[in-house]
Amino acid sequence: MKLLLIHTGGTIGMAETPEGLAPLKGLVEDAIAARLPAGTVLTTDVFDPLLDSADVGPRHWNRMLETIRSHPQAAVIITHGTDTMAFTGAALSQALAGENRSVTLCGSMLPLGQEGDAEGNLDLAISAATESKPGVWLAFAGKRIAADGLVKHHSHEADAFRSQAQATSDVPQRRTFEDRRLAILTLSPGVPAEAVEAMLAKLDGAVLRIFGAGTAMNDTALLTVLAEAVKSGKRLRAVSQCEAGGLSPGAYAAGAGLWSTGIENGGAQTPEAALIHLWLN
């Protein structure tokens, strides 16, 4: 088996220092190598510097994609911090749609060598990579779950992730991430229309987290801001603030004003998946 390890950083590859936990080069690479089945050919791509996942973004997704595509016969394991795992899961799932690749994301809540979850997650990632099941997956807490709709629902427990089912990914218009100004904005009671307008003025598009099954406040000023943004060519895509269930436009009269603005329906997409959709389509 050919295996490609892309080590980006994160808690899994950290060790204690006088200043606290910090990345330690070689820790993940050695742990992977020691666990591989006999005959496995391992290739590694290690980020330098190693990153806290809070710093991972589009240019890093592009690097991962370039490396994956340059090793077409290899199963792939990507070690990554947990805080933005959902964004990277959505990014790789959508960008690699239709390419029949097997990619397994892996991270941990405690570093290797601390009698936590890291070793078990690595073992599971190697097992998943050996099966080479097409798709992008997360190996975590004894489960292999689809990475296209990840939700980090707990900030401390080992069983930190859930996955919300997403619609089958069509091949996107773009296969890498261009320099675009996108963000996730959340509606909240009383949010000033001027604040949303100011944010949208600096963006090419945005994911808008709205209420429940698809409602928003009947604020004429806010609805005008959204309508004008859509009219000017900005992509606005709505998703629910609920973790599960998605949107059902028209189910409630309270959403009529919002949907009349021309905003896109993100359906059951997570905010992370909807953001990636805007980036690639």
Pairing of strands 135-140, 143-146: antiparallel
Place 161 in a pLDDT band, splitting at 50, 70 and 90. very high
- List own/partner pairs for 245-252 with CB under 8 A and 24 or more apart: 245/213, 246/213, 247/210, 247/213, 247/214, 248/213, 248/214, 249/214, 250/214, 251/213, 251/214, 252/212, 252/213, 252/214, 252/215
Kindly compute the dihedral angle of the four CA atoms of residues 61, 64, 65, 69, in this order, to the nearest 10 degrees: 180
Whole-angstrom Cα distance, residue 124 to residue 6? 16
- Percent of the chain's residues with pLDDT above 90: 91
H or E segment to which residue 44 belongs: strand 41-51
What structural domains does the chain harbor? Answer: 2-163 (3.40.50.1170), 182-280 (3.40.50.40)
> What average pLDDT score do residues 184-201 get?
97
Q: Residue 16: its pLDDT value, please?
A: 86
Whole-angstrom Cα distance, residue 100 to residue 4? 15
Q: Residue 192: its pLDDT value, please?
A: 97
* pLDDT higher than 80, residue 265: yes
pLDDT of 208-257, one tens digit each? 999 999 999 999 999 999 999 999 999 999 999 999 999 999 888 888 99
Q: Residue 159: its pLDDT value, please?
A: 96
* pLDDT higher than 80, residue 5: yes
pLDDT of 67-91, one tens digit each? 999 999 999 999 999 999 999 999 9
Q: Residue 253: its pLDDT value, please?
A: 82
pLDDT, the chain, mean: 95
Structure pTM? 0.96
Look up residue 165 and give its two tokens: 């089912």
* pLDDT higher than 80, residue 169: no
Place 168 in a pLDDT band, splitting at 50, 70 and 90. confident
